[in-house]
A and B are shown apart, each in its own frame.
Chain A
């Protein structure tokens, strides 16, 4: 049972981390390689909240808002002129990620930062004592998933975003301001990256390079999932599960590369990954 919970909670964490990247990739068709940096920014928001002596739970909305605000600036100043040059956009966001990492190092230093636990201890669940916070991560992932489903299927912004994904020229011909749809999507994506960073702080050490490792896994998962949040959930469950199994029964180091290797294999066999069509 503990193993099943490990799989579920690992998948949940991966989903939270990758969802912002998927939102941006699905609508904007660019890979935001600064995603890891926004994640780090979110984690350092938790550090600041702790430093200011505020309630640790405030770090979640604070990290989302900081990620969203910086994302808005990034979209307007750096990404917007590069939508027709996706390769340059990848390079620009990669460079931006490096700059953000260096700025964080300048500000906070290279040392690992400590943050208070949002939720400590274990709870009895399905007959085993399990980390309360890892179970909370599943709830958070469900909230993100349901929130996205509502946003995409239940709001005009979501309908417009789906229209832009399907046929941007037609969306423009109907008078949809595709520039605003792109901006809002980017802001939501970077906001989610910030939120993910804050949510990760009880599970991982906070340092200026913490986002890099998460970026690789999230990138591979998004490549496999295409632009579908359902496919992303399945990919996180399958490959996150494989990571847990390999780490538990073979070797934790091998477990660390499991997601990248399996995703590469899937893309080799089917370049469209889990996407339909």
Chain B
């Protein structure tokens, strides 16, 4: 990890999870997770289906209530903070399931992530810088975009505000390699140039290891292994993910 071209400083703790447990009703899905993600870091959480990866992201965002432990952002507890308030404070989220309003235009999908229409020009230009095709198709309904285009729009929308932290849920799922390359380049550039801290949930091992600085494996809601990028990382992660 290094300091970025826009003057951001890497290194201090941005997001901290301390013995976090959460779930739905009486069912606990995320179990006793502790993680620290530093400013300007890209962290990948990997694991098979149903291991609690998405639940972890939704817990951080406040969509799912904490059963135990605490989540802090820049040292301040997020317990009881409404998702809308957290997102307004500079945390962006690119969800995996139904990430777009299918019946709304690209323009309206972008507008919905803005606090005011006055921000549209500057914010959308940031989005278009990575995915220029969006600029010419603003009136097109999101539901008529291809799967890859929808993923790019989802990511573009989450990057518009230059968030301090971006939570990305399986953004590479089902995409052809050329689209995955573009998304990987966009994520790395956001971190390198602007210091955006990224927590990504992934099943695509190659994509995750290409982009991330550190990783963790989630198994049955708990961290099974974690580490940085070393010569044997791929084999180590594969060992956990093999069926």
Contact = CB atoms under 8 A, between A and B. Distances in A.
Interface string A157-198: 001101100110111111111100000000000000000000
Contacts, number: 52
A163 B101 contact: yes
A156 B102 CA distance: 18
Nearest to A170: B98
A175 B61 CA distance: 10
A156 B63 CA distance: 23
Q: Which residue of B98, B100, B101, B117 has the most chain A CB atoms within 10 A of its CB atom?
A: B101
Nearest to B161: A175
B104 to A, nearest CB: 7
Contacts of A172: 63, 83-84
Nearest to B100: A170
Contacts of B93: 173-174
Contacts of B100: 170
Given A172-B63, A175-B83, A176-B84, A163 B113 contact: no
A166 B87 CA distance: 20
Interface in B89-123: 93, 95, 98-104, 108, 111-113, 115-117
Q: Which residue of A159, A172, A174 has the most chain B CB atoms within 10 A of its CB atom?
A: A174
B187 to A, nearest CB: 18
Contacts of A167: 98, 101
Contacts of A169: 63, 98
B88 interface: yes
A156 B95 contact: no
Interface string B65-85: 000000000000000001110
Contact of A162 (B61, B102, B104, B115): B104
Interface residues of B, number: 24
Contact of B101 (A156, A166, A175, A177): A166
B104 A173 contact: no
Interface string A204-228: 0000000000000000000000000
Give chain A's interface residue range (CB within 8 Å of chain B): 10 to 19
A128 to B, nearest CB: 43
Given A163-B101, A163-B104, A166-B103, A175 B117 contact: no
B83 A159 contact: no
A173 B112 contact: no
A156 B104 contact: no
Nearest to B84: A177
Contacts of B116: 156
Given A166-B101, A166-B103, A167-B101, A174 B113 contact: yes
Nearest to B87: A175
A172 B84 CA distance: 6
A176 B115 CA distance: 9
A160 B112 contact: yes
A156 B117 contact: yes
Contacts of A163: 101, 104, 112
B104 A174 contact: no
B83 A170 contact: no
Given A156-B117, A177-B84, A171 B103 contact: no
B104 A166 contact: yes
Contacts of B108: 159
A83 to B, nearest CB: 15
A260 B101 CA distance: 34
A171 B113 CA distance: 9
B52 to A, nearest CB: 18
A98 B103 CA distance: 39
Contacts of B61: 173
B98 A176 contact: no
Contacts of B99: 170
30 contacts: A156-B111, A156-B117, A159-B104, A159-B111, A160-B112, A162-B101, A162-B104, A163-B101, A163-B104, A163-B112, A166-B102, A166-B104, A167-B101, A170-B95, A170-B98, A170-B99, A170-B101, A171-B112, A172-B63, A173-B61, A173-B63, A173-B95, A174-B157, A175-B83, A175-B84, A175-B87, A176-B84, A176-B112, A177-B82, A177-B84
Given A159-B104, A177-B82, 8 more contacts: A166-B101, A166-B104, A170-B95, A170-B101, A172-B83, A173-B61, A173-B87, A174-B113
